[in-house]
């Protein structure tokens, strides 16, 4: 039963927090604080309890997760939704990798939110849904079959939507509705494929190599390829692949920065996770390899890589620039998976991990800038490195990782992706893939490094004497600590990659 605790505990903790009596607990918005110092101290005390409760619940849940993944052959058949539709959990190596990455990002973003959410209202609601989404993500990581995975996938959409529309402005509400509409359309595409898949397989339990029954599928290969394409496209909606990407640059900018960080760092990865479970655990790589499905998949992924980078390069609003960057970078992962070889998949899994750390750090860095300066545009970043040197140095390190500069982890993942494309020998794509990845890397440098250059070298006209160090103000340590850890992870990942590369290569080898 230990497999259920990291799923149920944060969900229950979030529900308890959400159902607390309505009032001002957890609300510490500067614009709404009473003029009375006494009342302000009461509000601050209540918010401290709220934050402490959230961090404690999250840390305990992570401890339970670590205990669960260290158990050998942990699995649980909970109950049956209907005949041959069990809710079933099983911890495998891939699920462990996702659970650990999710937990690191979730905890660091929560620490960042300790300070950042002071200038936002409805803290209680935010942290309640934040905890519940973490529990759902643990359910996705430990799902043992597609029925269980799909159920938690839908729950993730519903419970993460309040993080998008948190501010309740018209823009935020419309972005939340757009996010929900796109997500449900994608989920229904997955469900369509799942209906037919049930007819031609003996089980929906995740099995390396696939579960299709050769006798049952004979003569129905075309239908099954259509189903596979529908499921890939359905999960790709969450991953922001063209032409289903429009929700992402709309939803990310309106959410609070720590919410944007986990949306871009984790939530979108679940789309790629779903594709891995579909292609490599249900249909099987051999069934897809060499078909029109693989070709369409690679075409859409490469289009998205280039398009997202170009749109990010042209965008001035910082959070929207990073959102377009996520559109591009997620399709690095999808392209690596579409190669259907060991090297390409290893690169894709490496990029899942490094992009989670890097993009979380980038959104948190931009959030810190917005929180302290109120500036939202890249063109306004002149001298920001003088005011927030630690934040911008961390921003620079993770930017280099996203570009793919050694010795960062981003270089390693892109190296594997390029080599995987060349090894595939697929006409056109084996050459076009590395070229598009290289062009995208140059564009990535073009939309990230100018922030560093303008931040640290503002020019002779800049007023150096009146440049206040904003990081010395109270509360900034809560923002700086997650940034420093994430930047360190981006470096360590690239400098000492042997262990993780071995684990991910073993996963890829098993699935091929």
- pLDDT tens digits, 401-435: 999 999 998 999 999 999 999 999 899 999 999 99
Q: Taking residues 286-296, what's their average pLDDT?
A: 93
State the CB neighbour count (10 A cutoff) for residue 179: 26
- pLDDT tens digits, 460-472: 776 666 667 777 7
- Please give the pLDDT value at position 31: 37
Q: Taking residues 197-210, what's their average pLDDT?
A: 88
Q: Is the pLDDT assigned to residue 35 strictly greater than 60?
A: no
Q: Which residues pair with 90 in a beta bridge?
A: 75
Give me the sign of the Cα torsion angle 442, 402, 97, 367: negative
State phi, psi for 33 to the nearest 5 degrees. Answer: -65, 140
DSSP for residue 267: I
Contact 3, 68 (CB under 8 A): yes
∠ CA 475-168-312, rounded to 5°: 75
Q: Which residues pair with 77 in a beta bridge?
A: 88
Q: Is the pLDDT assigned to residue 181 strictly greater than 60?
A: yes
Question: Domain segments of the chain: what residues?
Answer: 289-512
- Residue 338 CA to residue 333 CA, distance in Å, equals 9
Q: Taking residues 83-95, what's their average pLDDT?
A: 88
- Chain centroid, CA 510 distance in Å: 24
- Residue 389 CA to residue 172 CA, distance in Å, equals 31
Q: Residue 88: is the preceding peptide bond cis (ω within 30°)?
A: no
- Please give the pLDDT value at position 463: 66
* 365 CB burial (10 A radius; 0-12, 13-18, 19+): buried
Per the rule left: phi > 0, alpha: psi between -120 and 50, beta: everything else, 4 is alpha
- Kindly indicate the confidence band of residue 443, based on its pLDDT and cuts at 50, 70 and 90: very high
Mean of the per-residue pLDDT values for the chain? Answer: 88
**Is the model more confident about 365 or about 33?**
365
- pLDDT tens digits, 93-142: 999 999 999 999 999 999 999 988 888 888 888 999 999 999 999 999 99
**Within 13 Å and on the Cβ side, how many CA atoms surround 502?**
3
- pLDDT tens digits, 142-161: 999 999 999 999 999 999 99
Residue located via tokens 């570009």: 403
- pLDDT tens digits, 220-267: 889 999 999 999 999 999 998 988 888 888 888 888 999 999 999 999
- Supply 27's token pair: 């609300």
- Supply 2's token pair: 């230990």
- Please give the pLDDT value at position 464: 64
- pLDDT tens digits, 225-237: 999 999 999 999 9
- Supply 382's token pair: 């002149």
- Supply 122's token pair: 């409805």
Q: Is the pLDDT assigned to residue 39 strictly greater than 50?
A: no
The fraction of the chain above a pLDDT of 70, given in percent, is 94
- Please give the pLDDT value at position 474: 75
- Please give the pLDDT value at position 472: 79
Contact 127, 262 (CB under 8 A): no
- Please give the pLDDT value at position 33: 40
Q: Is the pLDDT assigned to residue 394 strictly greater than 80?
A: yes
- Residue 140 CA to residue 2 CA, distance in Å, equals 16
Give me the sign of the Cα torsion angle 301, 180, 5, 81: negative
- Residue 168 CA to residue 268 CA, distance in Å, equals 22
- Please give the pLDDT value at position 81: 82
- Please give the pLDDT value at position 73: 67
Q: Is the pLDDT assigned to residue 396 strictly greater than 90?
A: yes
Contact 337, 462 (CB under 8 A): no
User: How far is residue 413 from each of residues 75, 118, 137, 283, 404, measured CA to CA in Å?
Assistant: 31, 37, 24, 26, 8
- Please give the pLDDT value at position 74: 77
Rg (CA), the chain: 22
- Please give the pLDDT value at position 72: 66
Please choose, from the candidates 65, 30, 26, 59, the residue with its C-alpha nearest in 3D space to the C-alpha of residue 43. 26
- Please give the pLDDT value at position 28: 37
Q: Residue 243: is the preceding peptide bond cis (ω within 30°)?
A: yes
- Residue 384 CA to residue 362 CA, distance in Å, equals 15
Contact 117, 136 (CB under 8 A): no
- Please give the pLDDT value at position 468: 75
Q: Which residues contact 464 (CB under 8 A, 6 or more apart)?
A: 386
- Please give the pLDDT value at position 200: 86
Q: Taking residues 189-201, what's their average pLDDT?
A: 89
- Residue 243 CA to residue 389 CA, distance in Å, equals 39
* 18 CB burial (10 A radius; 0-12, 13-18, 19+): middle
Q: Which residues pair with 317 in a beta bridge?
A: 377
Q: Which residues contact 184 (CB under 8 A, 6 or more apart)?
A: 157
Q: Which residues pair with 85 in a beta bridge?
A: 82
- pLDDT tens digits, 334-353: 999 999 999 999 999 999 99
- Please give the pLDDT value at position 103: 96
- Please give the pLDDT value at position 44: 44
Q: Is the pLDDT assigned to residue 174 strictly greater than 60?
A: yes
């Amino acid at each position: 039963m230990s497999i259920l605790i990291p799923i149920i505990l944060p969900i229950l903790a979030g529900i308890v927090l959400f159902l607390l009596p309505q009032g001002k607990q957890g609300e510490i918005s500067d614009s709404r604080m009473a003029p009375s110092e006494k009342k302000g101290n009461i509000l601050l005390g209540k918010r401290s309890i709220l934050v402490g409760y959230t961090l404690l619940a999250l840390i305990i849940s992570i401890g339970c997760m670590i205990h669960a993944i260290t158990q050998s052959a942990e699995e649980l058949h909970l109950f049956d939704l209907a005949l041959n539709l069990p809710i079933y959990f099983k911890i495998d190596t891939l699920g462990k990798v996702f659970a650990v990455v999710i937990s690191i990002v979730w905890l660091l973003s929560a620490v960042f939110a300790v300070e950042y959410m002071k200038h936002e209202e409805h803290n209680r609601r935010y942290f309640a849904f934040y905890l519940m989404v973490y529990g759902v993500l643990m359910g996705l990581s430990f799902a043992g079959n597609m029925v269980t995975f799909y159920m938690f996938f839908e729950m993730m959409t519903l419970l993460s939507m309040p993080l998008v529309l948190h501010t309740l402005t018209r823009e935020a509400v419309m972005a939340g509705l757009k996010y929900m509409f796109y997500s449900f359309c994608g989920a229904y595409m997955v469900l369509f494929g799942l209906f037919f898949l049930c007819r031609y397989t003996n089980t929906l339990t995740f099995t390396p190599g696939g579960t299709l029954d050769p006798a049952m599928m004979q003569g129905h290969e075309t239908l099954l390829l259509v189903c596979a394409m529908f499921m890939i496209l359905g999960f790709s909606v969450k991953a922001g692949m063209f032409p289903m990407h429009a929700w992402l640059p709309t939803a990310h900018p309106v959410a609070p920065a720590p919410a944007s960080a986990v949306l871009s760092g984790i939530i979108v990865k679940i789309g790629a996770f779903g594709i891995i479970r579909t292609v490599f655990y249900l249909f099987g790589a051999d069934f897809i390899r060499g078909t029109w499905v693989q070709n369409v998949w690679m075409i859409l992924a490469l289009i998205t890589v280039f398009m997202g980078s170009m749109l990010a390069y042209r965008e001035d609003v910082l959070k929207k620039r990073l959102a377009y960057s996520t559109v591009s970078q997620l399709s690095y992962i999808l392209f690596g998976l579409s190669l259907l070889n060991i090297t390409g998949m290893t690169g894709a899994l490496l990029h899942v991990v490094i992009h989670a750390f890097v993009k979380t750090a980038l959104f948190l860095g931009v959030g810190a800038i917005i929180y302290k300066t109120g500036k939202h545009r890249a063109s306004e970043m002149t001298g920001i490195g003088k005011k927030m040197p630690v934040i911008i140095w961390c921003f620079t390190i993770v930017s280099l990782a996203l570009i793919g500069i050694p010795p960062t982890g981003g270089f390693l993942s892109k190296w594997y992706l390029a080599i995987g494309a060349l090894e595939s020998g697929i006409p056109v794509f084996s050459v076009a893939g590395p070229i598009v990845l290289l062009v995208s890397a140059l564009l990535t440098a073009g939309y990230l490094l100018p922030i560093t250059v303008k931040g640290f070298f503002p020019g002779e006209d800049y007023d150096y004497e009146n440049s206040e160090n904003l990081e010395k103000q109270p509360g900034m340590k809560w923002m700086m600590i997650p940034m420093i850890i994430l930047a360190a992870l981006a470096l360590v990942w690239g400098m000492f990659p042997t262990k993780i590369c071995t684990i991910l290569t073993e996963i890829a080898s098993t699935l091929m």
